[in-house]
Amino acid sequence: MDTIELVFHNGSPSTVNELIAETPEELVQRQVNAYNLRNIDAFLDTYSDDVEIYTFPNKLEFKGKERMRSDYGAMFSQAANLHCEIVNRIVDGNRVIDKEHVRFNDKALDGTAIYVIENGKISKVYFLQ
């Protein structure tokens, strides 16, 4: 076995994730990496179960991880050259703002995504058109 599953800290057992919390920036980058790999399970692992997806400023497009699985899973399986490049990133507390260049099939799109992180998961995403 070559992974650490449990650590004793000040006499109490803890998981590594409890001791070394992932920053909002690291969480969002893990989400981008999973997106680029088209790995739906790793991608969804970064989101809360009741995630809300908005068109900025406040138009709710959909809610819930299962809806994301349906929409993004289909895109992951259909887009041969899916790739998101982060052009610029701003981190402000629990918010990560990414200027993105996204390529899928023969299309490209530039956009901005605002990720809100709560309790170690992405809870809301706002897409600017």
C-alpha torsion angle, residues 97, 54, 48, 79 (rounded to 10): -80
Burial tier of 75 (Cβ tally within 10 Å: 0-12, 13-18, 19+): middle
Q: What is the pTM of this model?
A: 0.85
| All domains of the chain in start order, with CATH | 7-128 (3.10.450.50)
DSSP letter, residue 87:
E
Q: What is the pLDDT of residues 63-81, one digit of tens each?
A: 999 999 999 999 999 988 8
Report DSSP letters for 31-62, one per residue.
Answer: HHHHHHHT-HHHHHTTEEEEEEEEETTTEEEE
Residue-wise pLDDT for 104-113, tens only, equals 888 999 999 9
Q: 7-45: per-residue pLDDT in tens?
A: 787 787 766 656 678 999 999 999 999 999 999 999 999
**35 and 27 Cβ atoms separated by less than 8 Å:** no
Output DSSP code: residue 123: E
